[in-house]
Amino acid sequence: MGRKVTVVGCGVIGTSIAMAAARISDAVSGWDSDSGVLSRSAAASGLAPATGIAEAVGGADLVFVCTPIGSIPRLVAEVLRSASGAVVADVGSTKSSVVGEVRSLAAAEDLGRFVGSHPMGGSERSGPDAASASLLDGAVWVLTPTQDTEAASAERLETWVSSVGAKPVRMDPVKHDRVVALVSHLPQVVSTSLMGLAAREHEGVPETLLLAAGGFRDLTRLAASNPGLWADILRSNREELTAAIDLFVAELGELRATLVSGSAEDLRRTLEEATRARLALAARPQVKAGVAIVQVPVPDRPGALAELTAALSARGVNIEDLQIVHSPEGGRGTVHLTLAGAEVGPATEAARAGGFEVLRIA
């Protein structure tokens, strides 16, 4: 499985892929145009640094192009040429423009080995030092094969993505771009605008950022993202992003109208719909065959969760997934345990014997 994997571009994603590859591959090599980045990536991940692309991809089965979005198409075309036996994937944040430009730059006979892709892990941080082998654990990794792509190439990438612990999802490039405009690029723009506005107001009213607490920090964390990388990403998805901004401004406008002329009940209902959706998002279980969700209310104090997990552990129950979901009304939190079907009985007994209530099995 991926006897030799190469990453071209050794930033946070490239280095994280190299770390993940090291767990399952015989060899991992890498190249970056910045020799400092390359050596930090090699130190962090153990990849073999190469002096050029041709050397890096020699003998590779799978190559990931992980450079800033503007340089991806040219590099994919070059790698396809240099590594004649390899499946080549990019990891760019938008797909229509990348896939289209690769089609016009690469040799027609090489296109079958190219698979556009986008791992949805990530961080507002960049560079090899922000990399982590766990960045891709459980992350959705979108694959956007087209009619040019050989079925075997897409399957090979898909198998590899699963084997490093990410979740492959196939999607049309245009649909991908529309969805990420809404859930990734729009949040970036909103975060940037909120931070920019508050910083400007702060110049006139120096108490402004003094009063900025946790909520403001949550909303502006993305604003710290790498400006050069993100300028290119946003521009590469300009049309879909513009449409997403317009939808968002319309949504804000509706809330504004409710605030100005609606009843308290109208406004509460608007907030309530979003609350419900956000709690459902927090509780969204990983969809897997043969698993069940067991809900256990636990008091919100140090040690309560430890008592629960210890009770389950004493029975030999393996917890596949665990999420703490806090009640918006305050009060107790609820733990959602994802368990193999056969573990539900023992887990329920163990939790009850430990003094916990088992609310509901879904």
According to CB under 8 A, which residues from 51 to 110 bind a second copy?
none
What's the burial of 32, exposed, middle or buried (CB within 10 Å: 0-12/13-18/19+)?
A: buried
Assess 352 for contact with a second copy (CB under 8 A). Answer: no
Q: Interface with a second copy by CB under 8 A: which range of 46-54, 75-83, 84-92, 263-271?
A: 263-271
Residues 304-333 that bind a second copy (CB under 8 A): 305-307, 309-310, 312-313, 316-333
| Phi-psi category of residue 122: left, alpha or beta, with phi > 0 → left and psi -120 to 50 → alpha | left
Cα separation, 90 vs 215, in Å, equals 35
Q: How many CA atoms lie within 13 A of 24 on its CB side?
A: 15
CB 14 within 8 A of CB 68: no
Which residue's CB is nearer to a second copy, number 146 or number 295?
Answer: 295
Among 279, 349, 354, 358, binds a second copy (CB under 8 A): 279
Residue closer to a second copy by CB (options 18, 133) is 133
Of positions 121, 150, 349, 354, contacts a second copy by CB under 8 A? 121
C-alpha 178/C-alpha 96 separation (Å) is 10
Of 56 and 164, CB closest to a second copy: 164
> Does residue 345 interact with a second copy by CB under 8 A?
no
Q: Is residue 183 within the footprint of a second copy (CB under 8 A)?
A: yes
Distance between CA atoms of residues 339 and 349, nearest Å: 14
Closer to a second copy at the Cβ: 8 or 308?
308
Size of the site for a second copy (CB under 8 A): 153
Site for a second copy in 202-261 (CB under 8 A): 202, 205, 207-228, 230-232, 234-235, 238, 241-242, 245, 247-249, 251-253, 255-256, 259-260
Selected range binding a second copy among 82-90, 100-108, 150-158, 175-183, rule: CB under 8 A: 175-183
Q: Which is nearer to a second copy, 48 or 130 (CB)?
A: 130
Q: What is the spatial distance between Cα 302 and Cα 194, in angstroms, rounded to a whole number? A: 35
What b/e readout covers 324-348, taking b as 16+ CB neighbours within 10 angstroms? eeeeeeeeebbbbbbbeeebbeebb
- CA separation (Å) from 4 to 28, 39, 160? 6, 19, 12
Query: Does 194 interact with a second copy (rule: CB under 8 A)?
Result: yes
